[in-house]
Structure 1
Amino acid sequence: MQKVVYITGGTKGIGKGVAKALLDNGYKVAVSGRNIEAVKEAIKDLGHGDNILAVQSDVRNYSDEESAVAQIVEKFGRLDIVIANAGVGIFSSVEDMSLEDWNTMIDTNLTGVFHTLKASVKQLKQNKGYYISIASLAGINFFANGSGYNASKFGVVGFTQAAMLDLRNADVKVTTILPGSVSTNFNNHEPSDADHWKIQPEDMGQMVVDILAMNPRVLPSKIEVRPTKVN
């Protein structure tokens, strides 16, 4: 039986890298994003024919996530694994940060993670599934100009760890991954050869594949991952 995975924010970077690794390892995958054209372009690039589904969803809206889950179940008949990856970063001092920027990060990075789990938890319990949130080392290490981003990612770590305790006895495994520097388009960065020292999206994909392959009795509840060296 092919297991079915839902990845939020899967059009590029970590999300797309994880989607590719899972598709290559025999999973069926649904990828979502706010812009459906970008999602369709991503799944065209990923290939794998009928084993992949494009879904439009803004994780800030709970109804979008409910609809996404319904579309996935309609297409594939089930949902086994959910990876909450959608996120944004806007960096400035507390004095300069706008209310809009603060709300965008909290609503996307933290409330969105809750929406994704809330909308999928019945399927995960039914199928003894797995929920993974992509947090950040910024969820345990604060830095100047990072108050909004730090707040959202500290929240993701706390939320996911508490959800792990809520769901472990229902046979739902929950993990949060805290990556350091990853070569992606995050914060308007353009990946290049100069990023060779960073974690690559395919490295994150392999990590998720390895986590999902662990014995059911093993629960890696929080994983910190860094580049081997700093440039």
Structure 2
Amino acid sequence: MNAPHVLITGGNRGIGAAIAHALAADGWRVTLAGRSIEALESTRTTLPGDGHAVVQMDVASADSITRAFADARTAQGPLHALVNNAGVVETGPTQRFALASWERMLDVNLTGVFLCCQAALADLRETQGRIVNIASTAAQKGYAFTAAYSAAKHGVVGFTRSLALELAPAGIAVNAVCPGYTDTDIVRGGMAQIMDKKGKSEAEALQSFTQANPMQRLVRPDEVAEVVRWLCRQAPAAITGQSISISGGEVM
């Protein structure tokens, strides 16, 4: 097993799948992690190259994470990189936002990142590997009605910076990537809600997501994947603790 091994959480669709394709094309052995084995397998079969694997994982469960990393290590050997991509979004006015929803935003989007990093660090110290945490422009500026999501993603950036300092002597680079609104199922679902609840046209719904982007369009998943690919192998190790915005100039 000479090819480097990367585990990607939430790797079955959207940004995660795009990252998997980019890294597989770059010669990585990819382990896709997520809750649905069927969805992961469907994505795995489309990846270039061979030697890829899937593991079932719920990033809101510490036990599930421990088992999944053990399975990935047994099947593919030690990790050379970890991409924490799994995430969920729930929106609403803070005054009426349910505590259960708040806790889920933190469990999946923040605590899951912490637990996955813990699970990977023994391998990454051995391989001098890389960690890339997928955050959001919501970690850099915030948006109305996304208080829980923004809080969690701000936490991811803070965690990334602290962990980068902790691991710098070991030669492990830790960075966050912060996409703006990206052309994924989550955004398309948000558009559908706007069209349904507010009677907007598809073009009007799309504009509500693109108006803050100076390029006036959604970010493409492959644009995010290309930055992650670079950070995982080609970026100098001295690039660490950064939160890189991929937002068409929305955040500078």
TM-score by structure 2 length? 0.84
Distance, in Å, in 2 between the alignment partners of 1:204 and 1:141 is: 18
Is the contact made by 1:181 and 1:227 (CA closer than 8 Å) also made in structure 2?
no
RMSD of the alignment, in Å?
Answer: 2.1
Is the contact made by 1:60 and 1:107 (CA closer than 8 Å) also made in structure 2?
yes
Structure 2 equivalent of residue 214 of structure 1: 235
Structure 2 residue 114 is matched with structure 1 residue 119: no
| Larger of the two Rg values belongs to structure | 2
Distance, in Å, in 2 between the alignment partners of 1:95 and 1:220 is: 34
Q: Aligned runs of 1:52-67 on 2, under 5 Å?
A: 52-67=52-67
Distance, in Å, in 2 between the alignment partners of 1:144 and 1:215 is: 36
Structure 1 equivalent of residue 220 of structure 2: 200
Distance, in Å, in 1 between the alignment partners of 2:108 and 2:49 is: 29
Structure 2 residue 107 is matched with structure 1 residue 87: no
In structure 1, stretches of 5+ residues that fail to align are none
The Cα shift of 1:218 comes to: 3.9
Is the contact made by 2:164 and 2:241 (CA closer than 8 Å) also made in structure 1?
no
Structure-2 change in CA distance of 1:210 and 1:171 (3 Å): same
User: In the TM superposition, what whole-angstrom CA distance separates every residue of 1:140-178 from its partner, at most 9, and x where no partner exists?
Assistant: 212221111111111111111111111111111100111
In structure 2, stretches of 5+ residues that fail to align are 193-201, 211-215
**Would you say how many aligned residue pairs link Structure 1 and Structure 2?**
228
Q: Which amino acid aligns with 2:37?
A: I
Structure 2 equivalent of residue 70 of structure 1: 70
Distance, in Å, in 1 between the alignment partners of 2:159 and 2:241 is: 16
Distance, in Å, in 1 between the alignment partners of 2:18 and 2:47 is: 9
Distance, in Å, in 2 between the alignment partners of 1:34 and 1:117 is: 18
Secondary structure of 1:92 counterpart: coil
Q: Which amino acid aligns with 1:122?
A: A
Q: Which amino acid aligns with 1:143?
A: Y
Distance, in Å, in 2 between the alignment partners of 1:218 and 1:227 is: 21
Structure 2 equivalent of residue 32 of structure 1: 33
